[in-house]
């Protein structure tokens, strides 16, 4: 397993970072939170650059890159707290449709946006707790919770068939009932969606194993996006420590501050190692992919809890104000831990996997 980036992957990262610096500056997510802007221009630019097609198979008109290249993209999206529907489309909708045997031609062209509906109360993202039903005649009934971008053009719904196997039903937005909630991170819409006897035209009966594999991809992608957000928090905090002076010297010169920044760096590197190990496992279909997914998500959650707290405390009073941008990144990192299973949940998965 190759764990170092190739020259092509480094070039991809540099190109993505350059585009996002121009197209998604901090003023964009802030304008969305304040109700003064939207992400339509950003999405149009992403489609123009073929980002939705990055990991779509060539047979469907995509570029055909692996999950590692997707991870490079997703980490950069996390750094700028991307408010577009790209993340849900390529890391949630696309893997569920692909693994269940559907076509991603419309995703490759950017013709549609998509999301996935998995979580149910009270079991969260556990596939064992799926109660939404898909009858033999294609009738879908149930309620899903905490769906990102619930107003996407199409929703891939995980439901249980009469046989007990899981399937993916692709539902157009017109057939989705959305109860939108006010999320902590207001750059990203979240809602509960319900289906009351909706007749589904497109049923992808890939089976439980296909759904599980797709869920692993979505979970690792969420972990990597959280990692990117934490990296941005750390970089902003580090720069502040270099610039802010007390008693005539930068506060970053104080030993206690150095120790706290060093601890942040260690958390980031631990999470990055586990996240990209998981990405490599998914890309190569390594048999350790299940355990690697759980370790990546738990490490990203631990990282955000530590780095976000230090990112607020080391900035002092300014970090508690609305005017400073730090809170936007902290909110994205915090919600990233909650979605697709918390750090605690995935530690339990890891413990079960190794027999503890």
Same domain, 122 and 186: yes
pLDDT of the residue at 122:
87
| pLDDT (0 to 100) of residue 195 | 93
Instruction: Indicate the number of domains in the chain.
Output: 3
| Residue 42 is assigned to a structural domain of this protein | yes
One domain, residues 43 and 157: no
> Does residue 2 lie within any of the structural domains?
no
* Together in a domain, 231 and 347: yes
> At which residue do the structure tokens 């109660």 appear?
131
pLDDT score for 2 = 66
Please determine, for residue 264, whether its predicted confidence score (pLDDT) is greater than 70.
yes
| Mean pLDDT across the chain | 94
21-49 average pLDDT score: 96
- pTM of the full structure: 0.95
Answer yes or no: do 96 and 162 share one domain. Answer: no
Last residue of one domain, picked from the residues 181, 206, 231: 206
% of the chain residues with pLDDT over 70: 99
Q: Identify whether the C-beta of residue 206 lies closer than 8 Å to the C-beta of residue 91.
A: no
Is residue 339 predicted with pLDDT exceeding 80?
Answer: yes
What confidence tens digit (pLDDT) does each residue in 89-103 have? 999 999 999 999 999
* Among 108, 135, 164, residue at a domain's last position: 108
Domain identity same for 275 and 216 = yes
Quick check: 68 and 1 in contact, CB under 8 A? no
Q: Is residue 220 part of a domain?
A: yes
CA distance linking residue 13 with residue 6, whole number of Å: 11
Contacts of 314 (CB under 8 A, 6+ apart): 237, 240, 241, 251, 257, 260, 261
The verdict on residue 236 lying in a domain is yes
Strand partners, 191: 147, 180
Domain that holds residue 43: 7-108
Mean pLDDT of 102-129: 94
- Domain shared by 202 and 214, yes or no: no
Q: Is 328 a residue whose pLDDT tops 80? A: yes
Residue 259 pLDDT grade (very low, low, confident, very high; cuts 50, 70, 90): very high
Q: Is the domain of 220 the same as that of 172?
A: no
Q: Do 79 and 180 reside in the same domain of the chain?
A: no
**337 found inside a domain:** yes
- CATH at residue 137: 2.40.110.10
* 333/245 same-domain check: yes
On the question of pLDDT at 115 being above 70, the answer is yes
Cα–Cα distance for residue pair 340/190, rounded to 1 Å: 13
Query: Among positive and negative, which fits the CA dihedral 68, 74, 80, 85?
Result: positive
> Which pLDDT tens digit goes with each residue over 184-224?
999 999 999 999 999 998 999 789 999 999 999 999 999 99
Which of residues 145, 175, 206 is at a domain's end?
206
In a domain, 261, yes or no: yes
**Is 179 found in the same domain as 126?**
yes
Residues 325 and 222 in one domain: yes
Residue 268 lies in a domain: yes
Tens-place pLDDT, residues 45-55? 999 999 999 99
Tell me the average pLDDT across 162-171: 94
Residue 1 scores a pLDDT above 70: no
Region 248-264: mean pLDDT is 93
Residue 1 lies in a domain: no
Pair 131, 220 in one domain: no
Top-confidence range, 69-73, 179-183, 252-256? 69-73
CATH number of the structural domain spanning residue 314: 1.20.140.10
For 315, list phi and psi in degrees, rounded to 5.
-80, -15
Provide, rounded to the nearest whole percent, the portion of the chain with pLDDT above 90. 88
Q: Is the distance from CB of 144 to CB of 71 less than 8 angstroms?
A: no
């Amino acid at each position: 397993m190759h764990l170092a980036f190739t020259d092509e992957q480094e070039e991809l990262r540099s190109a993505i970072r350059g585009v996002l610096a121009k197209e998604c500056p901090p003023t964009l997510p802030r304008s969305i939170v304040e109700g003064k802007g939207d992400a339509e221009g950003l999405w149009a630019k992403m489609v123009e650059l073929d980002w939705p097609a990055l990991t779509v198979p060539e047979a469907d008109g995509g570029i055909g890159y692996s999950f590692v290249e997707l991870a490079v993209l997703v980490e950069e999206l996390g750094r700028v707290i991307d408010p577009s529907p790209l993340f849900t489309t390529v890391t949630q909708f696309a893997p569920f449709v692909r693994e269940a045997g559907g076509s991603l031609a419309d995703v490759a062209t950017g013709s549609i946006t998509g999301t996935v509906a998995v979580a149910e109360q009270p079991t969260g993202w556990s596939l064992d707790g799926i109660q939404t039903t898909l009858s033999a005649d294609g009738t879908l009934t149930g309620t899903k919770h905490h769906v990102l971008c619930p107003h996407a053009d199409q929703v891939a719904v995980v439901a249980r068939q009469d046989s007990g196997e899981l399937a993916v039903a692709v539902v157009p937005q017109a057939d989705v009932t959305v109860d939108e909630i006010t999320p902590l991170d207001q750059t990203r819409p979240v809602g509960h969606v319900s289906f009351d006897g909706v007749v589904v035209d497109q049923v992808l009966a890939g089976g439980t194993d296909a759904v599980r594999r797709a869920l692993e991809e979505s979970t690792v992608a969420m972990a990597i996006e959280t990692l990117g957000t934490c990296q941005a928090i750390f970089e902003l905090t580090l720069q502040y420590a270099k610039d802010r002076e007390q008693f005539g010297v930068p506060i970053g010169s104080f030993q206690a501050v150095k120790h706290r920044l060093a601890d942040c760096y260690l958390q980031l590197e631990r999470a990055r190692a586990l996240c990209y190990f998981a990405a490599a496992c998914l890309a190569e279909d390594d048999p350790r992919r299940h355990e690697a997914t759980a370790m990546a998500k738990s490490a990203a959650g631990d990282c955000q809890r530590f780095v976000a707290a230090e990112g607020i405390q080391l900035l002092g009073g300014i970090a508690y104000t609305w005017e400073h941008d730090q809170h936007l990144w902290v909110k994205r990192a915090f919600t990233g831990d909650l979605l697709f299973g918390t750090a605690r949940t995935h530690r339990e998965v890891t413990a079960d996997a190794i027999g503890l």
